[in-house]
Amino acid sequence: MTARPLRRAVEGDPLRVLRGKRLSRPSLAPWMIMALIGVIAFLGLGFARTSLDRSAFELSELTKSIDEATEINQSLSLEIARLENPARIAPLAEDLGLVIPSNTKQLLVDLDQAGPKVADARSEGATQ
């Protein structure tokens, strides 16, 4: 604020009012914008960190489930190998009456000649 004279200055009056530079207050707008940008950046970094941590937890859970599935797969492979073992199957087969044949006959097939004829179902008197 500038002081205003209460009365008009007279020519011979030794006192007079000088106009000086008006003092201006610093503007708060740039500081408010900078503070707002800082708060937004801080919250953005916090959100990014939280989402990365959540992804890390999900990745850890997936790794655990993959490890469990691998263990189950290995145990099932061992179980299959145990069940397919001929030393285990042979006594079971003998108990059921299955034996290894002692004499075998070889059957020779000539593939160059035409095979046997099959009776046609449409011909009269043919039954199958």
Q: Is residue 123 part of a domain?
A: no
- pLDDT bracket for residue 128 (50, 70, 90): very low
Closest residue by Cα to residue 22 from 1, 50, 46, 42:
1
Percent of the chain with pLDDT over 70: 78
CA distances from 42 to 2, 38, 47, 49, 70 (A): 44, 6, 9, 11, 42
> In angstroms, rounded to a whole number, what is the distance separating the alpha carbons of residues 20 and 124?
134
Query: For residue 81, what is the DSSP state?
Result: H
pLDDT of residue 123: 55
How many domains are there within the chain?
A: 1
pLDDT of residue 124: 57
Q: Is residue 128 part of a domain?
A: no
120: pLDDT strictly greater than 80: no
Q: Bigger pLDDT: 14 or 99?
A: 99
Domain that holds residue 78: 29-95
Q: Is residue 80 part of a domain?
A: yes
Q: Is residue 49 part of a domain?
A: yes
Torsion of CA 48, 52, 57, 59, to 10 degrees: 150
Q: Is residue 41 part of a domain?
A: yes
Q: Is residue 19 part of a domain?
A: no
Q: Is residue 85 part of a domain?
A: yes
> In angstroms, rounded to a whole number, what is the distance separating the alpha carbons of residues 39 and 45?
10
Global pTM reads 0.42
pLDDT tens digits, 45-96: 999 888 888 888 999 999 999 999 999 999 999 999 999 998 888 888 889 9
Amino acid of residue 89: I
